[in-house]
Amino acid sequence: MNEEFATISNRNKSSIGVILVLFILLVIVVQTFCIPSGRRGPAGLTDNETVSAVSTISFYVVNNSTYRLILDSLRGDTSLPSPRDIPPGIGASSRYELTTYTPFGSSATAEYYATDSEGERVGEFSFRMLNLALGLGSEIRNIEVTGALVAAATGKTLYVNNSVLV
């Protein structure tokens, strides 16, 4: 019996294998770097404090002033800090968790106002928490202060003080 094979197309079997491998790689990349809207929450740092594909980085605001700091506005890749408002007193602080999406950068901007013991506004400040792309670090930038306050950042911590001794 004479057997003849019919050629349906000019494609060879290796091109199907390449397509299959590329599809598998696409699925892996999408699962790693694309976050569905329902799962856009912080996943935390890994055990050795490195950033995973989706994680958070902690930033702190420390109130060393005699004024209450009240969060007025928050925009960006973070949830509300804990605690939201910071009472007066040396070392009273609040922690932010900035959500990161490695290898992309992320940021959030917070705005506070300060009140004295009678509830009167005495100053305002804002700052930007920034996680640089490609894991190049994180820092606080764009600090703007008005009124009876001064603010300065060291690393991922913003320190707020009275502008004059009370």
Per residue of the chain (166 residues), give pLDDT as tens.
566 655 555 555 667 778 888 888 887 877 776 655 444 444 444 444 554 567 788 889 999 999 999 889 899 888 888 888 888 888 888 888 888 877 777 888 999 999 988 889 999 999 998 888 776 778 888 889 998 888 888 888 899 988 875 4
| 46 located within any domain | no
pLDDT attached to residue 33: 65
Residue 126 is predicted with a pLDDT of 92
Tokens at residue 12, please? 């060879």
Asked if the structure places residue 22 within a domain, the reply is: no
CATH number at residue 60: 2.60.40
Query: Domain of 144?
Result: 54-162
In a domain, 115, yes or no: yes
In the chain, the number of structural domains is: 1
- Is residue 16 situated within a structural domain? no
Q: So what's the pLDDT on residue 138?
A: 82
For residue 73, how many other CB atoms are within 10 A of its CB? Answer: 10
User: Is residue 35 situated within a structural domain?
Assistant: no
Q: Quick one: pLDDT at residue 111?
A: 92
- The pLDDT value given to residue 63: 92
Which residues lie across from 149 on neighbouring strands? 162
Task: State the pairing for strand pair 121-131/68-76.
Answer: unpaired
**Stated pTM of the model:** 0.63
Q: 156 and 138 in contact (C-beta within 8 Å)? A: yes
Establish if 98 belongs to a structural domain. yes
